């Protein structure tokens, strides 16, 4: 029996195609740090990852994971909202940006990404990512706020000019609904 691949794993597969040694990446929502560690491995010793989260506990857990894998020198963790990525002085230089929306697994479910700030962060992403760079968004419509955020994100990506951005939306059909959804944007 073939094991199914999660949307986070699919996001990693997409990003791995566009990100390599020496690149710069952003984890817009650090959470438990798995995406941050993945990005740090992808960019290699000469690359760099910026990681954002509003919860210090998430950053602390991520830092522990980075130390365990000896990746901490490749990452700068920033205790701030993902909208603040707009202040990174790397316009047009970022190879990949990962968003894993919702709340911190195992954390306070009242602290969650919000549609308004996510849209601002996504707008900033379009400016930061370079041509042929990738933005991946895993959204979770399984709870009320997540459903609303997923809908807003899908509406936003569908409004992107197709001559400037390739958009792929993956919604698994072989799992219990509502399943996490993956949106991938490639800047042309």
Mean pLDDT along residues 3-20: 91
Are 19 and 48 within 8 A, CB to CB? no
Q: Is residue 178 part of a domain?
A: yes
Cβ neighbour number for residue 94 with a 10 Å cutoff: 25
Residue 65 is assigned to a structural domain of this protein = yes
Contacts of 157 (CB under 8 A, 6+ apart): 137, 165, 167, 169, 183, 185
**Stretch 130-157: mean pLDDT, rounded?**
94
* 119 domain-assigned: yes
Contacts within 8 Å (CB) and 24+ apart, 102-110: 102/139, 102/140, 102/143, 102/146, 102/149, 104/31, 104/32, 104/55, 104/57, 104/58, 105/31, 105/32, 106/32, 107/55, 107/57, 107/58, 109/143
102 belongs to a structural domain: yes
Task: Tally the domains of the chain.
Answer: 1
- Average pLDDT score over the chain: 93
pLDDT score at 100: 95
**Residue 2 is assigned to a structural domain of this protein:** no
pLDDT given for residue 1 in this prediction: 46
Query: For residue 1, is it within any domain?
Result: no
Q: Is the pLDDT score of 124 beyond 90?
A: yes
What DSSP state is assigned to residue 40?
H
Q: CATH number, domain at 110?
A: 3.40.50.150
Q: Per-residue pLDDT tens for 33-63?
A: 999 999 999 999 999 999 999 999 999 999 9
HEC letters along 53-120: ECCHHHHHHHHHHHHHCCCHHHEEEEECCHHHHHHCCCCCCEEEEEEECCECCCCCCCCECCHHHHHH
- Residue 33 is predicted with a pLDDT of 96
For residue 151, being part of any structural domain is answered with yes
Domain coverage including residue 134: 7-187
In a domain, 82, yes or no: yes
Is the per-residue pLDDT at 85 higher than 90? yes
Q: State the pLDDT confidence band at 174, using cuts at 50, 70 and 90.
A: low
């Amino acid at each position: 029996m073939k094991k199914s691949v999660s949307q986070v794993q699919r996001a990693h597969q997409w990003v791995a195609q566009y990100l390599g040694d020496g690149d710069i990446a952003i984890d817009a929502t650090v959470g438990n740090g798995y995406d941050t560690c993945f990005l740090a491995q992808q960019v290699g010793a000469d690359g760099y990852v910026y990681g954002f989260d509003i919860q210090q506990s998430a950053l602390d857990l991520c830092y522990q994971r980075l130390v365990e894998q000896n990746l901490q020198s490749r990452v700068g963790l920033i205790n701030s909202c993902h909208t603040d990525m707009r202040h990174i002085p790397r316009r047009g230089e970022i190879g990949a940006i990962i968003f894993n929306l919702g709340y911190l697994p195992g954390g306070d479910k009242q602290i969650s990404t919000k549609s308004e700030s996510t849209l601002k962060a996504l707008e900033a992403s379009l400016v930061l990512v370079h041509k042929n760079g990738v933005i991946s968004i895993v959204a979770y419509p399984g709870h009320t706020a997540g459903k609303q955020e997923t809908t807003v994100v899908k509406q936003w990506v569908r409004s992107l000019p197709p001559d400037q951005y390739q958009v792929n939306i993956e919604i698994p059909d072989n799992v219990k609904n509502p399943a996490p959804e993956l949106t991938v944007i490639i800047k042309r």
